[in-house]
Amino acid sequence: MLYLAEVQKQKAGLLGGSSKTELKLLACQRTDQNWSPVSEDIIAAEEASKLNDGALVLVELTPNRQVQRLQEAGRPLVNILQNFSRQVEKHKLKEDEIDQWKESLTFQAQELNRREMDMEVRLEQLQNMEEEFQRLEAQQQEVETNRQQIEQLQAEIEQNRQELAGAWEHLRGEQRRLEERLQEGGVLDQEQSRKMSELLDRLSNRIAPTEQVREHLHWAGELVEKQQAILNPHWEKLQQQKTLATQQQQEVEQLAQTYSDCQTAWQEAQKTLEQQTTQLQVNMAAIACKEEYIHLAKAQLHFQEELYQQIYSLAVSAGDGLPGQKVDVQALENMPIGELQKLIQDLLDKLEIDSSFVQDQEQELKYKQETIEKLQQKINHASDKDLVNLQMELADEQDLYRMLNETLVGQRRNLLIQQKLVKRHQNVLLRRQGQAVLHAEEENSIDFSPIVSQLENQRQHQYQAIQKLEREVEQMRAAIEIDQGMIDNQTHNLREQKQELKTMEENLLSLRIANAECWGRVNLYQEALQPIQDCLDGLRGKLQSMKESLAQIQETSDYQLQTISEIRHTIHSFITQPELLAS
């Protein structure tokens, strides 16, 4: 199991004794991304004696609490922190996505509530309209009843007029006969005078009374005006509805024009975004080509590095072929043996420390290579959603691998030089002690420095060219990130504008429906009111005609009464003249 631990060194006491190196366990790895603190437990670990006190290390323990593997925790902690940052960023993206869903659901709920309230208002309006229509139907029935009554009165007046016309015709006949008899010189006797008086009385009684008819007409006129007074608020409401419908129609036209302009602007922005996306894809393809070239150049540089290491190792093993390997043999021959032995022991201690450090770095480099291979396998089977994060993680791991490998190049070279120096010092000590030399040095060493220098120059040129390409790629990546950010912002803005267009379209549709309903109410209202108004106007016209006819009848009746009175006076004068009676 893997633990995070702190190196603790206990120095020797005043009375002597050796120092102890211990590891204080701080945290334990449960899974790849899960660490949990542990109770402070201290275990002995002499393997960490070369590390400084207080250093953080990653230690792998066996089930019986023995150290199996030990490495410095600097770079692994950096990787863990990077992974934690990525997880935090992913979690933040998920939270943003959840917030967007919450806002969308809230907006949809508000829209549903608004539509439900609109439906309730419209239902209430329909109920009010139904009640108004019922009242209008009742008024229409009342007007129809009044019209029938007026027609009945008109029929009675017509009948009275016809009877009056018949009576006048009879009176004119009697008047003509009277005139004929008077012209013949005849006179009226008492019986004839009585009959004429009866006829005149009957004729006077047959004149139609107009007062009752006038009262009925006046009542009918008041009833019509009352009905008109009831209809006038409805006509005013109809006019208000027409004004409202006209205003809504203007709003619909303005909103439709605004929607058309916004839609045109959105389409143009969409075309511009597509062009920018295409250019971004071209730039990404160019980056991919350059990265492929960099990959090939790095592979070539890796081969050059291996060749350089092999030649360098050969040069180191060949003798004094390289700088840094010169040993003053004469000074070693003259040095006291004790001092030479101490120098050799110091060199061996330093060589052991450096060898252990290089081995740890080699092991970490091996782990990095395994991690890169695992990430590459994940990328080969990853979905589009996780591909970007895995590629970023792979790029980070490759950068760490490259830096660690470049660091190890010089360390490996220095380690070979130290090994060679130790062997030379050991040979001098063996010769001075009279013992056999373990590795005899060649008398004639080969000078590999020109080849090494040429390979180093080629390697440097190749490395500089790769660095130049990488800088260009980084610049292109930075430009692409800026362009991608702009495209993302534009995409987000276009998405919001599209949502606004959708909302505007829904509002336009709702406004059109409301305007159509308003015009429907206006038309329906007018269709309901206009027949009643036409009926009232017809009744008003008929009543006016009847009033005029009644005035003519009244005038005729007055004239008839005056005529009857004159006839009565004439007959009375005939009866009262003695001359006529004597003759």
Give the Cα separation of 554 and 531 in Å (integer).
Answer: 34
Give the Cα separation of 283 and 181 in Å (integer).
Answer: 135
Q: What is the chain's mean pLDDT, rounded?
A: 77
Work out the pLDDT band at 583, boundaries 50, 70, 90.
very low
| Residue located via tokens 């925790």 | 73
Q: What is the per-residue pLDDT across 212-242, written as a single tens digit (0 to 9) for each?
A: 667 777 777 777 788 788 878 888 888 888 8
Structure-model confidence comparison of residues 399 and 153, the more confident one: 399
The answer to whether 57 and 48 have CB atoms below 8 angstroms apart is yes
Give the Cα separation of 505 and 512 in Å (integer).
Answer: 10
The greatest distance separating any two alpha carbons of the chain, rounded to the nearest whole angstrom, comes to 216
Give the Cα separation of 175 and 169 in Å (integer).
Answer: 10
Q: What is the per-residue pLDDT across 344-373, written as a single tens digit (0 to 9) for each?
A: 888 888 888 888 888 888 888 888 888 888
Give the Cα separation of 372 and 398 in Å (integer).
Answer: 7
Give the per-residue pLDDT at 205. 63
Q: What is the per-residue pLDDT across 81-122, written as a single tens digit (0 to 9) for each?
A: 777 777 788 888 888 888 888 887 888 888 888 888 888 887
Give the Cα separation of 545 and 524 in Å (integer).
Answer: 32
Give the Cα separation of 269 and 271 in Å (integer).
Answer: 5
pLDDT of 15 strictly over 50: no
Give the Cα separation of 443 and 422 in Å (integer).
Answer: 18
Q: CB count, 10 Å around CB of 400?
A: 19
Give the Cα separation of 290 and 301 in Å (integer).
Answer: 16
Give the Cα separation of 345 and 109 in Å (integer).
Answer: 82
